[in-house]
Amino acid sequence: MLDVTNPRTLGRSICIITGASRGFGRALAHEVSRWLQPGSVLLLVARSETLLQELKGELWSFIVDQQSAVHCVAADLSTREGLDETVRVARQEAVTEMDRVLLINNAASLGNLSNFATFTGIDEVNSYLSFNVSSALVLTAGILQAFPRVPLQQRSVVNVSSTFALRPLPSWVLYCTAKAAREMMFRVLAEEQPHVKVLSYSPGPMDTDMQRDILRLTGVKNHLLPCQESAEKLVKLLLDDDFVSGTHLDFFELKKLTSRDDTTM
């Protein structure tokens, strides 16, 4: 049961994070683990078994001191086998009643940054949409089916989004299209499932491999946030639980809101 003397906690929960081996996903694993109560399960999904195990090693105090479990699922989420395996492990690991089920759809790829007119090959586009759109829907559906509504349990689904889900960027047709698709997908989910809290979170440009690729491919150097800072903001949003399900929130918006709070309080 939720510790009512300290409401700022994610409770005893199962939290599934995709793309957990690096970058934002990895930072989220660390941040989320700080807020989980004993008896929780952290399910980390990515393709690299090695990197996942390394991350698990970094979470030893969570495992030992918090008597919680970390499971690494090395899976390719663009395959049905990878998705099925993830759901299977999730189902198997949450045998005791959890306060919360939290799914963070973070895994994504940049795709080929190229002129619109170069995308004449349907296999490339299909493959990109499969990993970046289909797999998020299929995984979310699988997890919601594995954890049907239970009284007093909160189910939350996060879509790691982007400002480019909302506005177009030249040469970024694959990425923008997939992020816009996911945005709508999760809005429909929010409409359909009043008992699932859905959030599309735009984390801002962070110090990740994806941003290094962007710099290399486009020469555009953004001012980069540490992943941890953005991860903290996302977890704060989840703890505050003050958003309308289906909404899109941006790291930079939240930053502005917090400064405003500081001056009025």
Partner 1 sequence: MSSPARTDLGRALCIITGASRGFGRTVAREMSRLLKPGSALVLTARSVDELRALQAELAESEAGRAGLLVECVVADLSEADGLESIVKASKVAFSEDMDHVLLVNNAASLGDVSRYAKSFTDMAEVDSYLSVNVSSSLCLTASVLQAFPQRPGQLRTVVNISSLCALQPFRSWVLYCTGKAARDMMFRVLAEEEPDVRVLNYAPGPLDTAMQTVARSRTADPDVRKSFSDMFAQGQLLTCEASCSKLMKLLLEDGYTTGAHIDVYDV
Q: Which residues bind partner 1 (CB under 8 A)?
A: 79-80, 83, 115-123, 125-126, 129-130, 133-135, 137-138, 140-142, 144-145, 165, 167-173, 176-185, 187-193, 246
Q: Are 104 and 16 in contact (CB under 8 A)?
A: yes
The closest of 165, 153, 248 to 196, measured between CA atoms, is: 153
Rounded to the nearest angstrom, the gap between the alpha carbon of residue 259 and the centroid of all alpha carbons in its chain is 25
**59/181 with CB nearer partner 1:** 181
**56/182 with CB nearer partner 1:** 182
Burial of 256 (0-12, 13-18, 19+ CB in 10 A): exposed
d(CA 90, CA 71): 9
Q: Quote the least distance from Cβ 149 to partner 1, whole Å.
A: 10
**46/165 with CB nearer partner 1:** 165
Tokens of 221: 């150097």
**195/256 with CB nearer partner 1:** 195
- Beta partners for residue 100, in sequence order: 13, 154
Q: Quote the least distance from Cβ 58 to partner 1, whole Å.
A: 31
**2/166 with CB nearer partner 1:** 166
Q: Quote the least distance from Cβ 111 to partner 1, whole Å.
A: 12
Q: Quote the least distance from Cβ 146 to partner 1, whole Å.
A: 10
d(CA 32, CA 104): 11
Q: Quote the least distance from Cβ 76 to partner 1, whole Å.
A: 11
DSSP state of 98: P
